Structure 1
Amino acid sequence: MPWDYDLDVQMPTATLSYLGRHFNRTLHDYRFVVEGGGERIVAGGSGSGDGNRGRRDDVIDDGGEDIVYINKTYLLDVNPHHTDLTRGNGANIIDARWIDVGTGLFIDITGLAERDAAGAPGVWSCKNAHRYRTREIYPLRRTEFEGVPAHVPYAFDKILTDEYGAKSLVNTEWAG
């Protein structure tokens, strides 16, 4: 959304708990290729990195086109209060973050659960009172986001317009 400075994702609380138990506070390296990038995208040199693009590892000459390999490092930080069912004072509603250690940019992660399976079956929510029906989420749709394969809820358009209004699907600017 143009008014937001980060990305937000949600996942089942069971998955979030698994990540917390096994991967909290762990670093993860990701290596990707930028074809034809040449020196335009590489700063630093000898692997020092520039904080914005990551660390340059290799440049391979592919018949006149440079293929540049970039490494990025990410930290998974799971909030110790991720298992709390309520928002409390509002200070702990983000359950986890996937943080780019070079830039500090992050993805907020919140857990979704059927919080009242007996009284409201098929209604999923998070600590921040976002509510979804199972049929709005599943089956997930495959898409591409920023050039990377991703999955989005089945009724993503309904979810976004319910939360932010119809213009949220077409506005590309916010407050100038």
Structure 2
Amino acid sequence: MNLRMPLAALALTALSACEPNQAQQSAAIPFKPVASLQELMVAVIDPNIDFVWNSVASISSTEGEQERRPTKPEEWEAIRQHALVVAETANLLLIDRPVAKSGINTASGGAELSALAIHNLIQANREQFQQKAVALQTAAQQLLTAIDQQNPDELERAGGKVEQACEQCHSQFWYPGDKRPQ
């Protein structure tokens, strides 16, 4: 009978019991958010998702119709980097942080709530807010799949899913009272 295998298994079990799990590690080192939600949107999500959205387009002008589609490996890689930033930023939305920096207006056209009202709405519905962040990440992962397949049509479809995820969150938390015509 070979005793080395059971002893090795016992040793691995003992070592794994000594290692802190991920939840314990996270609790030991608290997050220190620097950016507000609004800053994450303006500085990180918006420019990166705009790059992805603008990579596939049908443009009508006086010169005629033009289709914009990535074709070269370096174009696909650049789009992938921007989509990856959006997917990872969804994790940053899960961290409790201020809605806006002190004194900054969150309204651009009157339909948006104040930063305090948005904060209160998020706190009262934290789980729903987190689900919206996960929905954004899921949609962004569909972008990555389309990019890895180098499929412009699927990239455009996945871009629509990201837009839908953003709008669902904004319409619930940023401007819930906005009455847009159907």
Please report the TM-score for the alignment, with normalisation by the length of structure 1: 0.25
- Greater CA radius of gyration, 1 or 2? 2
More helix by share: 2
Please report the TM-score for the alignment, with normalisation by the length of structure 2: 0.25
More strand by share: 1
